[in-house]
Every structure is written in structure tokens, then in C-alpha cells.
């Protein structure tokens, strides 16, 4: 490819659009911010058109007549690799040539006018221009707070339908926009926070049996309304009104729909207005500021009674059953028969939903997580793929699906799942956390710290993030920082001493040389294990923390039998983290130990 020209002009680096004046790069609707210095480094490399640029030449170009250390350039390169999702060992964009300098591996071309992009044979770059849409919470203008679920349900269903156009439109998750229900900054500020270029606003007025919907599309770059419309009907018309709005929004965005896409946007969740009302009320109660999960579940069960073929409601119930199932391996004591009943409930509801609608929201994800726990990983991977195709912003599927793909060695797929989940949940700490965890599992510790650090900044009270940051820092050799983060994790846990953390805390303390703390945690594990099952995985990791590798091997042998028999182990998470050696413990790479760990893998 030819050499890029002006330093301030937009250009393509591989399939990434680089916009120096806006200090950002983007691909497939995903926007990444870049510091001015890092952008200057990128432009300097782009000017070289793929040839190697010495570090001194880069320093002279980016920091002219300034006394800076080489570390300044290194930090910029670290930041750029983080943005592009690459490491020095996997130089998809930037390559460091030892003792010579740095070069861009990806081809560089000047950006042409958007109207000629397709003519010049650049479909991947046209894809990068996919619109990014934020559907804000609809305002309830009914004057009756009890009708708030009507506006919330309208917004959620329109957002869900438009999300089905994932290949044409990047729709920010409902979780990310939910905060704007109570605080509403300017459209431009919202768009910048979410990485959206267009915003859909709406209001719903419900009075007796009448319903009015007002919607408008706002171009975030110009703050101008590009389309608006109003819809009037009866309360019983709510489902057809959702279809009309979704189709009209797609038309206003000039999305050329296939027949299947039109059918998808037009397809209602249910033919029963009564069932939909119950479904909308349940969703509102489940996700409100003061959630009432028990009542939400009863309402959702009533929705299924009103329409036994309500696939979305069945999927919702399966998904909440999965959360209960995971709680049985993370801290809640449970009778084996009660756990099996939960498993059967998830499978029954998910299969019923998928028999009605193969793309039923939540159902594929619920089924995938059950199969993941039971070591049926081939089936789980298939279901996760379906779940992410229908609900790419669902962080339950993003997290578990990305983690499983990382566990089986599908590095690129794992990172892409996590990156896509983050792009649709840009302000959610959990999304940053999962990206960091995936990077940690596949061994890119630098990127792991970046993702987990951002998650910790957004949600400093999350012990899960603090613990994973500790493990990665220990793996990087930063024992003092790892120890500090382990202490922070314990502080955040308080009196809630969940087994999901204890064995890994013990191993972490052992790895940073704090054997007394490792023994203290092990004693706690022993006491809990006398009260309820904690799983072979927890015992195996606790034994590793004490350096008792014979005991660890004995526990791993028990776990391997469970894996072969597709049985749930309460130490499921510990088993997988042991196998992936998340703290880079040399003892776990001994041949006998590694052979035992390699048997802890689903089919």
C-alpha cells in the first residue's frame, strides 16, 4: 500500500479508521479514544508506510526539542496495542523489531470520500461506518407512576428489535442507557459517553385505553433531529405500535432490510396483550432502582400462563433459574435434589422456548451456561454462539461465553466476544472486567490489567475485579501490588466469605509469600467444608496454597471423574483457574501436575 500523507488527515490502518483530529480510531462501530501523543506516534508510523522507524526518530518527531525518556514512547505503544487489542507477541497492527525500531504491520491508505468507499472495493471499511444507536429510556407522560412500566417496556422492546440488526446497526445495551432514566445530560454528552452517533428519544402517554407514542432520532454530531413521528392507538395496540416504530426507525436510518429482517422487526413477542403486559411489568420490577425479584418472577410465570407459547418469557425464567443455579456453587448451601430440580427447570424452559423460537432471547444463553457447568463444552459453545447472535449485549453470555472460548484456546474468538460486549456496554464495569479476565486467561497480562483497572475504577466496590487484578499482578511478578489487592478483596468481602474467592485468596497469599494468611484462609475453608459441599476444585486449590501437591493431585483425580460424568463441582471456577494457572505458579507446570490439570476440560 502507498504511504499515508498528511498527518492530520483520516486514514485506514488495516480495517481501523484513524481520525487524528478527533483523537480516535474505530472499527465495526466500535470507537476507541487515543491520547494525543499516542495518536502522534501512530501517525508517525503511518507516514512510514510499513517501514521500520527507529525509536529515536519517533521521539524526535513526536517530542521535538523535548527531553523525554524512551519510556514515554513505550507507554504510547502500550496504549495503542491496548486499543487495537494486540500484544507484542501478536503484532496484528504494530510490530517492534528488536534493536531496530517499530513499524506498522497493517496496510495504510488515505481515507477516501465515503461515497466512493464501496466503489473502491472496501466492504470491511464500509462496515466500520455502521451506525451506532443509543435508544434512551422513554419518558412516562401518563401522570401515573404505576404506568411507568409501559414506557419502559416500549423502549426495551424497540431496543431489542433493533438489536436484531446487529450486522447493520450497533445498538448500545439497555443496561448502559438505563442511567439516563433519572439524569439526562445533553444528547451530545450522552453520545460521547456511549460512543453513539445517533440517539433515539421517546415518550409514552397512556390514559385509560388510549396510547400515544412520540419518538425522534437525533444526530449526535449536529444535535439536530433527523426524523420524528407520533403514533396513536389503543392500549391493546401496543404490540403493533412497537413493530411500526421499529420499522420506521430502520427506514429513517436508511437500513436496507432483507425480507427476513423485516419479518424480525415486525414479529411481536406474543399475540396476547395480557401476557405482554405481565411481561413488561415483570421486567420493570426486576430492573428498577428498587427491584422486587420475587414479584417479578410471579408476574413472568403468569405471563407464561396467559400465553404458554411466550418464548421470551420462558427464556427469562430459564435465565433467572440459571442465576439461582450458579448461586448454589458460589455460596448457597443446597440439597443435591434441589439443585437437580433447578437444572431440569432451566433445561425444560429453555428447550420449550427454543422449540417455539430458535432465537428466543435469553434461552440460548441459559442453556449454554448449564452445559458449561456440566462440562458439555461443545454444546455450550454452540449455544453461546446463538445467544450472542441474538443478544450480543447480554453480559451473562458475553462473560461466560468469552471465558469458555478462552478456556478451550479460541483466543481471537474469546477476545472478540468480550470486545463486542464492551462496545455495547461502554460504561458498565462488568464489561471491562470480562474483557480483562479474558485477556488474563489467554495470557495477555498487560491488556488484562488495563481492562480490570478500568473496571476497578468504575466499580471500586466489586471484589471480583479486585481479586482478578491481584491474580494478574502476581502473574506479572508484582508481588507487593498483588498482596495489596488481595487485602482489598478481603475488605470488600467483609462478612460475606464466599467460597468463590477463598481458595483463590489462599493461593494468592501463598504466591506472594504470606504463608500465614494462606494457612488462615485454609482453616476457614476447612470449617466451611465441614458444613456443606465446597467441591474438589476448592480443596485442590487450597492444597496448592499449602504446597501439598499430593493432596491436590488426589482432589484433581476426583474432579476429573466428575468431568467425565458431566457432574457439577462446587469448585468449578477454581478448577478452571487452576488449569489456566492464572497466577503463573511454576509448581503447577510440573509434569505430573500439568497432566492432571489437563484432564479438567469439558468435551
For residues 117-128, give the mean pLDDT: 39
Q: Above 50 in pLDDT, residue 192? A: yes
Least confident of 280-294, 392-406, 484-498: 280-294
pLDDT of residue 56: 84
Q: Above 60 in pLDDT, residue 270? A: yes
Looking at 395-478, list the stretches that DSSP marks H as alpha helix, in order from N- to C-terminal side: 395-407, 411-424, 429-442, 445-458, 463-475
Percentage above 90 pLDDT, the chain: 54
Q: How confident is the model at residue 488 (pLDDT cuts 50, 70, 90)?
A: very high
Q: Above 80 in pLDDT, residue 332? A: no
pLDDT of residue 334: 64
For residues 293-312, give the mean pLDDT: 95
Rounded to an integer, what distance in angstroms lies between the CA atom of residue 394 and that of residue 593? Answer: 36
Rounded to an integer, what distance in angstroms lies between the CA atom of residue 164 and that of residue 368? Answer: 20
**CA distances in angstroms from 317 to 80, 345, 521, listed in the order given:** 42, 9, 37
Instruction: For residue 325, give the nearest of 274, 366, 377 by alpha carbon.
Output: 366
Write out the H or E segment, with its range, that includes residue 27: strand 24-27
| CA angle, 328 then 334 then 335, to 5° | 135
Give the E-state strand segments of 197-309 in sequence order: 198-207, 210-219, 224-234
Q: How confident is the model at residue 5 (pLDDT cuts 50, 70, 90)?
A: very low
pTM: 0.76
**CA distances in angstroms from 171 to 18, 90, 202, 415, listed in the order given:** 22, 30, 16, 20
Angle, in degrees to the nearest 10, between helices 429-442 and 411-424: 170
Q: How confident is the model at residue 86 (pLDDT cuts 50, 70, 90)?
A: low
Question: Which tops the pLDDT comparison, 34 or 367?
Answer: 367
Percentage above 70 pLDDT, the chain: 92
Q: What SS3 state is found at 201?
A: strand
**CA distances in angstroms from 214 to 267, 308, 352, listed in the order given:** 21, 32, 36
For residues 464-472, give the mean pLDDT: 96
Q: Above 70 in pLDDT, residue 112? A: no
pLDDT of residue 509: 97
Residue 334: all three cell numbers together? 443446597
Q: Above 90 in pLDDT, residue 301? A: yes
**CA distances in angstroms from 412 to 41, 338, 404, 444, listed in the order given:** 26, 38, 12, 12
Q: Above 60 in pLDDT, residue 294? A: yes
Range from 24-33, 83-92, 397-406 that averages highest in pLDDT: 397-406
Q: How confident is the model at residue 94 (pLDDT cuts 50, 70, 90)?
A: confident
For residues 189-203, give the mean pLDDT: 90
Q: What is the mean pLDDT of the chain?
A: 87
Q: Above 80 in pLDDT, residue 22? A: no
> How do residues 137-166 score in pLDDT, each as one tens digit?
999 988 778 788 999 999 999 998 898 887
> How do residues 546-582 score in pLDDT, each as one tens digit?
999 999 999 999 999 999 999 999 999 999 999 999 9
Residue where the block lists cell 478527533:
22
Rounded to an integer, what distance in angstroms lies between the CA atom of residue 129 and that of residue 432? Answer: 24
pLDDT of residue 50: 77
pLDDT of residue 325: 84
pLDDT of residue 118: 38
Rounded to an integer, what distance in angstroms lies between the CA atom of residue 183 and that of residue 169? Answer: 26
For residues 28-36, give the mean pLDDT: 73
Question: Which tops the pLDDT comparison, 180 or 72?
Answer: 180
Q: What SS3 state is found at 448?
A: helix
Q: How confident is the model at residue 287 (pLDDT cuts 50, 70, 90)?
A: confident
- Give 225's strand partners: 218
**Is 146 exposed, middle or buried, given 0-12, 13-18 or 19+ CB atoms closer than 10 A?**
exposed
Instruction: For residue 472, give the nearest of 499, 440, 435 by alpha carbon.
Output: 440
For residues 594-598, give the mean pLDDT: 95
- How many residues would you count in the chain? 603
> How do residues 409-456 score in pLDDT, each as one tens digit?
999 999 999 999 999 998 899 999 999 999 999 989 999 999 999 999
Q: Above 70 in pLDDT, residue 111? A: no
Give the E-state strand segments of 315-377 in sequence order: none
Residue 42: all three cell numbers together? 501512530
Q: Above 80 in pLDDT, residue 499? A: yes
Q: Residue 127 half-sphere exposure, CB side, CA atoms within 13 Å?
A: 12
Amino acid at each position: 500500500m502507498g504511504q499515508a500523507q498528511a498527518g492530520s488527515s483520516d486514514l485506514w490502518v488495516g480495517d481501523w479508521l484513524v481520525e487524528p483530529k478527533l483523537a480516535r480510531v474505530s472499527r465495526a462501530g466500535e470507537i476507541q479514544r487515543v491520547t494525543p501523543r499516542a495518536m502522534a506516534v501512530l501517525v508517525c508510523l503511518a507516514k512510514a508506510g510499513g517501514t521500520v522507524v527507529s525509536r529515536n526518530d519517533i521521539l524526535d518527531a513526536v517530542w521535538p526539542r523535548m527531553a523525554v525518556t524512551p519510556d514515554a514512547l513505550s507507554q504510547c505503544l502500550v496504549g495503542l496495542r491496548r486499543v487495537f487489542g494486540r500484544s507484542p507477541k501478536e503484532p496484528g497492527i504494530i510490530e517492534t523489531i528488536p534493536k531496530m525500531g517499530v513499524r506498522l504491520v497493517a496496510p495504510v491508505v488515505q481515507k477516501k470520500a465515503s461515497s466512493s468507499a464501496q466503489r473502491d472495493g472496501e466492504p470491511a471499511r464500509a462496515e466500520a461506518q455502521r451506525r451506532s444507536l443509543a435508544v434512551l429510556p422513554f419518558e412516562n407522560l401518563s401522570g401515573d407512576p404505576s404506568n411507568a412500566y409501559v414506557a419502559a417496556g416500549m423502549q426495551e422492546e424497540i431496543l431489542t428489535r433493533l438489536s436484531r440488526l446487529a450486522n447493520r446497526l450497533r445498538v448500545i445495551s439497555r443496561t448502559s442507557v438505563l442511567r439516563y432514566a433519572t439524569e439526562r445530560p445533553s444528547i451530545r454528552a450522552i453520545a460521547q459517553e456511549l460512543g453513539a452517533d445517533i440517539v433515539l428519544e421517546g415518550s409514552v402517554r397512556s390514559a385509560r385505553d388510549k396510547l400515544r407514542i412520540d419518538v425522534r432520532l437525533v444526530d449526535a454530531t449536529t444535535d439536530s433531529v433527523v426524523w420524528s413521528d407520533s403514533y396513536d392507538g389503543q392500549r391493546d395496540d401496543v404490540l403493533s405500535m412497537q413493530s411500526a416504530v421499529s420499522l420506521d426507525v430502520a427506514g429513517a436510518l436508511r437500513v436496507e432490510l432483507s425480507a427476513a429482517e423485516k419479518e424480525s422487526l415486525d414479529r411481536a413477542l406474543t399475540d396476547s396483550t395480557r401476557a405482554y403486559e405481565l411481561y413488561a411489568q415483570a421486567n420493570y420490577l426486576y430492573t428498577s432502582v428498587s427491584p422486587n425479584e420475587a414479584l417479578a418472577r410471579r408476574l413472568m410465570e403468569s405471563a407464561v400462563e396467559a400465553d404458554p407459547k411466550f418464548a421470551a418469557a420462558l427464556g427469562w425464567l430459564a435465565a433467572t433459574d440459571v442465576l439461582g443455579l450458579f448461586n448454589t456453587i458460589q455460596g448457597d448451601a443446597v440439597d443435591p435434589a434441589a439443585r437437580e430440580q433447578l437444572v431440569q427447570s432451566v433445561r425444560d424452559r429453555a428447550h420449550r422456548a427454543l422449540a417455539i423460537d430458535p432465537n428466543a432471547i435469553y434461552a440460548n444463553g441459559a442453556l449454554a451456561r448449564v452445559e458449561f457447568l456440566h462440562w458439555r463444552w461443545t454444546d455450550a459453545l454452540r449455544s453461546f454462539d446463538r445467544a450472542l447472535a441474538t443478544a450480543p449485549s447480554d453480559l451473562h453470555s458475553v462473560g461466560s461465553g468469552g471465558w469458555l472460548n478462552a478456556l478451550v484456546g479460541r483466543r481471537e474468538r474469546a477476545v472478540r466476544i468480550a470486545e463486542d460486549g464492551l462496545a455495547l456496554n461502554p460504561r458498565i464495569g462488568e464489561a471491562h472486567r470480562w474483557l480483562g479476565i479474558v485477556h488474563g486467561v489467554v495470557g495477555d497480562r498487560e491488556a488484562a490489567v488495563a481492562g480490570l483497572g478500568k473496571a476497578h475504577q468504575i466499580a471500586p466496590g466489586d471484589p471480583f475485579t479486585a481479586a482478578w487484578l491481584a491474580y494478574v499482578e502476581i502473574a506479572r511478578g508484582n508481588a507487593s501490588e498483588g498482596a495489596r489487592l488481595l487485602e482489598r478483596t478481603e475488605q470488600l468481602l467483609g462478612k460475606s466469605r464466599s467460597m468463590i474467592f477463598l481458595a483463590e485468596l489462599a493461593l494468592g497469599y501463598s504466591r506472594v509469600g504470606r504463608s500465614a494468611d494462606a494457612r488462615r484462609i485454609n482453616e476457614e475453608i476447612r470449617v466451611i467444608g465441614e458444613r456443606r459441599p465446597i467441591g474438589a476444585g476448592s480443596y485442590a486449590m487450597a492444597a496448592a496454597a499449602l504446597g501439598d501437591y499430593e493432596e491436590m493431585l488426589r482432589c484433581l483425580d476426583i474432579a476429573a471423574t466428575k468431568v467425565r460424568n458431566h457432574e457439577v463441582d462446587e469448585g468449578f471456577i477454581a478448577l478452571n483457574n487452576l488449569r489456566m494457572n492464572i497466577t503463573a505458579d511454576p509448581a503447577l507446570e510440573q509434569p505430573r501436575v500439568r497432566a492432571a490439570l489437563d484432564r479438567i476440560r469439558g468435551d
